[in-house]
Chain A
C-alpha cells in the first residue's frame, strides 16, 4: 500500500515523513518521558502501555472476520463430513460419503464444467476488451468525461436490473430478435433464453458487459504509467494504432492484465445472479446452466430436500478451484517478475 507523504492541509507545505518507529530521536524520547501511551520495547518498536488497548480497538474487526470469515470456512470443512440439514436437527458423521457422492454426481460435474467454461471464455475477453476501451478514452478529447461515465454506468446497476433488461433484449420478441428479423438476417427468433448453451453464452455476455466499465477505470490508472515517449517513438517508426497497442500498451500494463485475469477468474467462479436472471430459478432448462454457487444453493439450502453436508462438500470443491486459480496466477506473476 502507498506510504506517500502528502502535504499537510493546514500549511500547504510538504512535510517529510518522520523517523521510522525503530529510530528514536530527541523529541520522541522526550515524548516518551512525559506522555503515557506508546513506549518502546527493547527492539525499539512502540508498545502500548496498556497492552489490551489495541485489541479493544480491533475487537469488532477481529470478531467479524473470525466469526463470518475464517470460522465458516473451517466449519464448511467439518460439515462436509456430515449430513447436516439446512433447517436444523441432528447431524451425523458420514465420513467421506459426501466426497464419493461428489465424484459420481453428474450434476456436480455439469456445474463445474459450466463454471470453468465461464472462466475460460470470460477471462481473456475481460482482460482485453476493457483495455481497448481504456485506450480509447485515455486521451483528453472533448466530451471524453461523458464517455467514461457512460461506460461505467452498467457497473452501478445491480445484476438483477441488468438481468431484467437483458431478458427483454434477448427474449423471442425482444429488441435483438426483432431487429435481426427486420434486417432479414434471421427468419426464426434465436432462442437466447430457452437453449441451454445460448443461456450460458448470454450470461457470459452479461458478465462482460457489466464488468467492462469497472476494469476500464482499473486500466486507466495503469495506462498513466506507460511512458509517452515509447508511443511517440513507435509512431515515428510508422507503427499504426493496432501495432502500438500490441507492442507498447500491452507490455506496459502486463502486471495489471495479470491482476485483472486473476480477479475475473475468481469472479467467474462466483457467478450466480446472471444465470438466475436469464435461465430462471431452475438455472436453465433442467438445471443445465447451473454454476457451482447455483448448485451449492440448490443442494444445500432447499428447506425440504437440502443437505448442508453435501453442499459443504461442493463448497470445498469450489474453494479448491479458486485456490488453484489463485496459485496459478501467483506463479505467473512471479515468472513475469523474474
Chain B
C-alpha cells in the first residue's frame, strides 16, 4: 500500500499516460460517448431555458437558447400543480426510505447473528420473495391494496415496498463485517442487545445504510408503473405521473413546460448523486438488481 501512495505523489505529465495517438483516440471516443449519453439531457435543459418565441423543434431551432429565460419554470409552477406532485413524491420517498432503513437494519442485524432457531426458514423466505418479478405479482398486489381501501392513496404506493429482502441482505453483510471482539467487549461492559445495535453496529455500517437509502430514494422517486396502477386523481399524482400526464395533456403543445418539469424532477436525485457519488457506485455492486 505504501508504495502505491508514494507513487501517486509525483505529478504525472501527459506522456506518462501513454502514446499520444492512443490518447487522442481514447479522448475522442470518450467525447463521442459523452455526447450520446448526456446529449439528450443537456438538450432538455437547454430547451427548457428557451423563450416562447424560439423553436424547440424543426429546422429553424437552434441548440443554444438565444435569450435564456426561466419563464418556462415560472409557467410550469403557475399552470400545473407541480408543488402537489413534488409533495406527493416526497411523501412516498420519505415513507419508503424511513421504513426500509428501520426494518432492514433490524432484520439484517438479527440475521447476522449466530444461529437461532428458525433462521434458515427466514433466509429461505427472503430468497423466495426475491424470485418473483414485481410485474408478475402486481395484479395480486393491486387486489390487496384494493381490499385495504388504499386505491388512489399514497400509502398504497408505499406499502408494497416498505421493506425489501435485498436491503436486509445488504445490511446483514455489513453487520457481519463488524469484528466479534468489539461486541464481546461491549457485552462485558454491560451493553444490552439494543445498545450494541444502536451504538456499535449501526455506526459501523453507515456505508451500507447510505447504499440502502440511495437505492430506495431513487427507486421510489423514479417509479412509474405502480403509482400509475394505484393512483387515480391528479391531487395524488407523483412527479413521474404528473410529467407523463403533462406530455399527453393539452399542455403538451408547449414543450418548454414539459422540459422544465423534467429538469425539476431530476434535480433532487442529481444533488444526492453529487453529494454521495462514491456510495452510488457501491450500491451498483451490492444491489445489482436493476435495469
Chain A residues within CB distance 8 Å of chain B: 1-6, 8-9, 15-19, 21, 27-28, 31, 35, 37-38, 45-48, 51, 53-55, 57-58, 60-62, 64-73, 75-76, 79, 84, 86-88, 133, 136-137, 139, 141-142, 147, 149-154, 156-169, 171, 173-175, 178, 181-182, 207, 209, 211-214, 217-218, 220-221, 241, 259, 263-264, 266-273, 276-277, 280-281, 292-293, 296-297, 300-301, 308, 311-312, 315-316, 318-319, 322-323, 326
Interface size on B, residues (CB 8 A): 113
The main secondary structure of chain B at its interface with chain A is helix
Q: Which of A147, A270, A323 contacts B135 (CB 8 A)?
A: A270
Q: Is the CB of B179 within 8 A of A69?
A: no
Q: Is the CB of B37 within 8 A of A151?
A: yes
Q: 20 pairs across A/B with beta carbons < 8 Å?
A: A1-B172, A17-B180, A46-B113, A46-B116, A57-B106, A60-B106, A68-B160, A73-B136, A75-B144, A150-B34, A153-B37, A157-B41, A160-B243, A161-B44, A164-B44, A164-B243, A168-B259, A175-B57, A292-B135, A319-B136
Q: Is the CB of A264 within 8 A of B291?
A: yes
The 0/1 profile, CB within 8 Å of A marked 1, for residues 2-40 of chain B is 000000000000000110001100110110011011101
Q: Is the CB of B58 within 8 A of A173?
A: yes
B173 interface residue per 8 A CB criterion: yes
Q: Is the CB of B285 within 8 A of A218?
A: yes
Q: Supply 5 further A-B pairs (C-beta < 8 A) apart from A57-B106, A73-B140, A277-B244.
A: A1-B176, A72-B132, A87-B146, A161-B265, A164-B259
Q: Is the CB of A69 within 8 A of B255?
A: no
Q: Is the CB of A165 within 8 A of B106?
A: no
Q: Which of B37, B116, B222, B262 contacts A51 (CB 8 A)?
A: B116
Nearest CB in chain B to that of A175: its residue:
B43
The 0/1 profile, CB within 8 Å of A marked 1, for residues 101-113 of chain B is 0111011011101
Q: Which of B128, B255, B262 contacts A161 (CB 8 A)?
A: B262
Nearest-neighbour CB distance to chain B for A51, whole angstroms, equals 7
Nearest-neighbour CB distance to chain B for A124, whole angstroms, equals 15
Cα A68 to Cα B163 in complex, Å, equals 9
Q: Is the CB of A86 within 8 A of B192?
A: no
Find chain A residues with CB under 8 A from B73 CB.
none
Find chain B residues with CB under 8 A from A3 CB.
176-177
Cα A324 to Cα B182 in complex, Å, equals 45
Q: Is the CB of B125 within 8 A of A65?
A: yes
B146-175 with Cβ < 8 A to chain A? 146, 159-165, 168-169, 172-173
Q: Is the CB of A160 within 8 A of B224?
A: yes
Q: Is the CB of A9 within 8 A of B204?
A: yes
Asked, given contacts A272-B225, A318-B136, whether A35 binds B34 with beta carbons under 8 Å apart, the answer is no
Chain B residues within CB distance 8 Å of chain A: 17-18, 22-23, 26-27, 29-30, 33-34, 36-38, 40-41, 43-44, 47, 56-59, 61, 99, 102-104, 106-107, 109-111, 113-119, 122, 125-126, 128-144, 146, 159-165, 168-169, 172-173, 176-177, 179-182, 184, 187-188, 192-193, 204, 218, 221-225, 229, 240, 243-244, 247-248, 255, 258-259, 262, 265-266, 269-270, 273, 277, 280-281, 284-285, 288-291
Asked, given contacts A293-B225, A315-B136, whether A218 binds B57 with beta carbons under 8 Å apart, the answer is no
Find chain B residues with CB under 8 A from A300 CB.
139, 142
Q: Is the CB of B114 within 8 A of A21?
A: yes
Cα A9 to Cα B243 in complex, Å, equals 46
